[in-house]
Amino acid sequence: MATKEATVAELAGKFRDSNAVVLTEYRGLTVAQLKELRGTLREDASYAVVKNTLTKRAANEAGISVFDDQLAGPSAIAFVHGDTVTVAKALRDFAKANPLLVVKGGYFDGAPLTASEVEKLADLESREVLLAKLAGAMKASLFQAAYMFNAPLAQAVRTVDALRAKQESAA
């Protein structure tokens, strides 16, 4: 009984500390395949096979009730502590190669996610790519602003040079 309470407390802590949570069913996957999946997720998430009853209690204790109806069959959860998009992509890619892995749903930023919403999340670009695009757009905007500030000055210089040349030719 004490070990169950400790497991629930540990799982509840993982629910609270995670950026996102993705619930999967792994029925039919081998131990080697699960090990491979854990390896691909290791940088951004921990992937744990869980007991449904204990997980339901832990999720409810953490204030998450979205999984209550989905906890059936062999379940495993990806507790995301890094980039959520990267984890969603890794799960999607692994499920394409291993159709026995089924994404049931998730929980992200205080809101439940359906399996199709997790798929849409996987279609987004990674945080690093989005930041690089933002930096490029900002650099282009700064270059454009600098050009706009310099253009009147350059125009004035050309006008003064033209006037000077006209005066010199008239003299």
Q: What is the pLDDT of residues 6-55, one digit of tens each?
A: 888 888 888 888 888 888 888 888 888 888 888 888 888 888 888 888 88
Sequential DSSP letters for 88-114? HHHHHHHHHH-TT-EEEEEEETTEEEE
SS3 157: helix
Instruction: Calculate what percentage of the chain has a pLDDT beyond 90.
Output: 0
Domain stops at, among 124, 143, 159 = 124
Mean pLDDT calculated for residue range 103-115: 80
Cα(59)–Cα(15) distance, rounded to whole angstroms? Answer: 7
Mean pLDDT calculated for residue range 144-169: 75
Instruction: Calculate what percentage of the chain has a pLDDT beyond 70.
Output: 87
Confidence band, pLDDT 50/70/90 cuts, at residue 128: low
The whole-number pLDDT of residue 126 equals 63
Mean pLDDT calculated for residue range 84-104: 85
Same domain (yes/no): 37, 106: yes
Same domain (yes/no): 55, 96: yes
Same domain (yes/no): 111, 162: no
Same domain (yes/no): 31, 66: yes
Same domain (yes/no): 70, 153: no
Same domain (yes/no): 31, 54: yes
Same domain (yes/no): 102, 118: yes
Tell me the residue range of the domain where 57 lies. Answer: 2-124
Same domain (yes/no): 53, 110: yes
Same domain (yes/no): 29, 106: yes
**Which phi-psi region, left, alpha or beta, contains residue 28 (left: φ > 0; alpha: ψ -120 to 50)?**
left
Mean pLDDT calculated for residue range 105-128: 75
pLDDT at 139 > cutoff 80: no
**Mean pLDDT computed over every residue of the chain:** 79
Same domain (yes/no): 107, 92: yes
pLDDT at 169 > cutoff 70: yes
Number of domains, the chain: 2
The whole-number pLDDT of residue 133 equals 67
Same domain (yes/no): 132, 119: no
Same domain (yes/no): 76, 159: no
